[in-house]
Amino acid sequence: MLLSRRDLEFLLYEWLDVELLTKRERYAEHSRETFDAVLDLAEQVATEHLHAARVPAVAAVTGTR
């Protein structure tokens, strides 16, 4: 895992206060649930597709399996 979910949530909700975007007309239809759904999907894509490709590459560089 490159970044933990907890760290991402801290960065988005505590540090960047991303929920303030929902006060703008353009993003008014979004909510924390929307942002969480994006994080869920990103985690799923990373786990299912990117992690599988990364493991052999790291092993090739480090000489480990």
pLDDT in tens, 5-43: 999 999 999 999 999 999 999 999 999 999 999 999 998
In this prediction, residue 1 carries a pLDDT of 58
* Predicted TM-score (pTM) of this structure: 0.69
DSSP strands (E only) in 1-65: none
pLDDT at position 48, please?
82
Domain range for residue 54? Answer: 5-62
pLDDT of residue 65: 57
Give phi and psi for 4, each to the nearest 5: -80, 155
3 state DSSP class of 35: helix
Q: What is the mean pLDDT of the chain?
A: 84
Number of domains in the chain: 1
pLDDT of res. 29:
98
Residue 55 has a pLDDT of 57
For 19-53, b/e burial (b = at least 16 CB within 10 A) is eeeeeeeeeeebeeeebeeeeeeeeeeeeeeeeee
